[in-house]
Amino acid sequence: MNPAQSRSSVHAYQRPSKLYRYSQRQWLERSLQLGEFRLRPPPAEMQMTAPVQQIIPFSARRSVAASTFLTLSMADSWDEKLFDIFGGADTCLVVHDAEQFGERIHRAVQRMLPSWAGIDAAISYGTPSPLGAAFSKARQLALEKEWLFAWRPTQHVMSCSPVVIRIGSIESIAELRVRGA
């Protein structure tokens, strides 16, 4: 790791200026007011694709299976079509300061899961990401425009469960936007 980078937050590429999370208003209000976010293992279909290639090169050691890391997915642009892609979404959390948001997310995870390593980067669509299968998706999913935060344990674990983190109110750097606004 580059000594200039903080231990709690490593991102492979320049974060976009804004991040977007499409979901139901009830959950996004909690995100805005409390800074509450649910980190979860990737969907089952991702866990079945090349599990030993997940989230590399976090370290030189053997990679962990997909079920043993946690993610938080955002989009890197506003697009009304994403309301339909993320089923049941009626609201979008627009984060106006992605850099501050990302640093706060990584610090909160480090406090809760101190022996985990984290990284965030754009998903690569149609070509393998140098970060592994966790950051790679099929070309037909490119409309998702996903920016992924991901963490993996530095010690061996069999699997992991979703975790809820709180980073405090983000009302000073974010807002809720409804479809058509």
pLDDT in tens, 4-62: 333 334 444 689 999 999 999 999 999 999 999 999 988 755 543 443 444 444 433 34
Task: Give the helix, strand, coil percentages of the chain, each rounded to 5.
Answer: 25, 30, 45
Cα–Cα distance between 52 and 157 in angstroms, integer?
14
**Mean pLDDT across the stretch 59-80?**
72
Distances (CA, A) of 85 to 4, 21, 57, 80: 38, 12, 30, 9
Which pLDDT score, from 0 to 100, does residue 52 have? Answer: 41
Structure tokens at 133: 């299968």
| pLDDT surpassing 70 at residue 1 | no
Strands 163-166 and 36-39: antiparallel
DSSP one-letter code for 112: H
| Residue 64 vs residue 96, higher pLDDT | 96
- CB–CB of 9/167 below 8 Å? no
Q: Each residue of 81-136: pLDDT tens digit?
A: 999 988 789 999 999 999 999 999 999 999 999 999 999 999 999 998 888 878 88
pLDDT band at 67 (very low <50, low <70, confident <90, very high): low
Q: Where are the alpha helices (DSSP H) in 91-174?
A: 98-112
Q: Is the pLDDT of residue 77 over 50?
A: yes
Q: What band does 75 get if pLDDT is binned at 50, 70 and 90?
A: very high
Query: Which tokens in the block code for residue 70?
Result: 């946690």
Cβ–Cβ < 8 Å for 64, 152:
yes
Over 50: is that where the pLDDT of 63 sits?
no
Task: State how far the alpha carbon of 50 is from the alpha carbons of 123, 147, 161, in Å.
Answer: 16, 20, 20
